[in-house]
């Protein structure tokens, strides 16, 4: 029921292209899939109700694992995850088409769609925070939807405007979650914004889930809910570690972007966007 899942589904194909650039892969695999989802989003937006300032109301949709369908779609509008994945997909489609030198009319349509996307939903007041859907209060999240524009959405980055970075840093620092699903989302989002204590935060959360056989529970050990099995989300802990050392989101390489400066570190052969293999060392 979640609009953003379409873009989330083709994102790994685009990541593959970005981290291992191949014109053949772009032409035969990545671009056709991303193009089709971008077309779907543009068509969907053409059917949306108008908002303010030339924007649309991106609806209806369901926030990932929260609220469900509500009367009159009261809490089914402008979901932060949807907004991130629509933006990500449209921008990827524009880049793919431009690189391949095709679909100029579609590129113009996708650029127009980007201009019509509404702002992320927030609370009111002097220090607003992002919420999952328009008009909703902050809640204890299962999936940390307000953090998803940073990761996995990849559309709020270190190079974003200062006020946007401050908004998401404030949101992530104060976000409440139930211990399920969101460990990797929050760990990477914290690293992407270079929040203080990102390594310590990740260490604490991993240690609380680590079994003797080195698998990770979804929730903390001893929890009565989801304390069994091995959920595939937890395989993503590898990216949570590497993002402390090297980031390349938005085609910009950042070396030791969230690693504490009082801890020496070294890494070899981490892959970055553009197909680069990067090694680095940090001392003193």
Each residue's pLDDT tens digit, 79-136: 999 999 999 999 999 999 999 999 999 999 999 999 999 999 999 999 999 999 999 9
Q: Is 227 helix (H, G, I), strand (E, B) or coil?
A: coil
* pTM to 2 decimal places: 0.95
Sign of CA dihedral 256, 259, 260, 263: negative
Query: Residue 37 has what pLDDT?
Result: 98
Of residues 1 and 224, which shows the higher confidence score? 1
Q: What torsion, rounded to 10 degrees, do the Cα atoms 30, 35, 41, 47 define?
A: -160
Distance CA 52, CA 33 (A): 31
For the segment 174-203, what is each residue's pLDDT rounded down to a tens digit? Answer: 999 998 889 999 999 999 999 999 999 999
**Residue among 182, 16, 32 nearest 93 (CA):** 32
Residue 119 CA to residue 100 CA, distance in Å, equals 30
Torsion, CA 263, CA 268, CA 269, CA 274, rounded to 10: 40
Looking at residues 257-276, what average pLDDT do you find? 96
Give the distance, in angstroms, between the CA of residue 124 and the centroid of all CA atoms in the same chain: 23
Res 232 pLDDT > 90: no
Percent of the chain scored above 90 by pLDDT?
90
Q: Give the pLDDT of residue 231.
A: 80
- Say how far apart CA 169 and CA 130 lie, in whole Å: 10
Torsion of CA 146, 148, 151, 154, to 10 degrees: -110
SS3 276: coil
Question: Between residues 245 and 216, which one has the greater pLDDT?
Answer: 245
How is residue 25 written in tokens?
């892969």
220 or 18: which carries more pLDDT confidence?
Answer: 18
Nearest to 202 by CA among 229, 154, 165, 237: 237
pLDDT in tens, 150-182: 999 999 999 999 999 999 999 999 999 998 889
Give the list of residues 6+ apart from residue 263 with CB closer than 8 angstroms, or none.
199, 282
Closest alpha carbon to 51 in 146, 3, 116, 4: 116
Residue 45: both structure tokens together: 């937006």
pLDDT tens profile 253-262: 999 999 999 9
Coil vs helix vs strand at 210 = strand
Q: Is the Cβ–Cβ distance between 151 and 201 less than 8 Å?
A: no
Query: Which residue, 167, 155, 157, is CA-closest to 192?
Result: 157
Residue with tokens 């609370």: 123
The values of phi and psi at residue 32, to 5°, are -55, -40
- Do the strands 277-282 and 265-271 form a parallel or antiparallel pair, or are they unpaired? antiparallel
């Amino acid at each position: 029921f979640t609009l953003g899942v379409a873009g989330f589904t083709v994102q790994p194909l685009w990541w593959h292209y970005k981290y291992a650039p191949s014109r053949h892969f772009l032409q035969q695999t990545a671009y056709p899939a991303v193009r089709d989802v971008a077309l779907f989003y543009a068509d969907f937006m053409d059917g949306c109700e108008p908002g303010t300032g030339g924007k649309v109301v991106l609806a209806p949709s369901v926030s990932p694992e929260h609220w469900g369908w509500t009367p009159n779609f009261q809490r089914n509008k402008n979901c932060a995850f949807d907004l991130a994945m629509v933006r990500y997909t449209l921008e990827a489609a524009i880049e793919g088409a431009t690189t391949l030198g095709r679909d100029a009319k579609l590129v113009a349509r996708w650029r127009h769609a980007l201009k019509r996307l509404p702002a992320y939903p927030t609370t009111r007041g002097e220090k607003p925070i992002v919420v999952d859907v328009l008009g909703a209060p902050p809640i204890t999240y299962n999936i940390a939807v307000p953090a998803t524009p940073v990761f996995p959405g990849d559309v709020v980055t270190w190079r974003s405007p200062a006020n946007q970075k401050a908004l998401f840093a404030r949101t992530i620092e104060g976000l409440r979650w139930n211990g399920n699903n969101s460990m990797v989302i929050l760990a990477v989002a914290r690293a992407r914004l270079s929040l203080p204590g990102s390594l310590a935060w990740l260490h604490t959360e991993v240690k609380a889930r680590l079994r003797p056989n080195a698998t990770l529970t979804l929730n903390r050990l001893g929890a009565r809910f989801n304390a069994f099995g091995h959920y595939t989300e937890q395989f993503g802990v590898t990216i949570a570690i590497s993002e402390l050392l090297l980031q390349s989101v938005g085609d910009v390489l950042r070396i030791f972007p969230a690693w504490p400066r009082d801890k020496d570190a070294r890494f070899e052969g981490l892959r970055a966007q553009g197909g680069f293999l990067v090694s680095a060392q940090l001392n003193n």
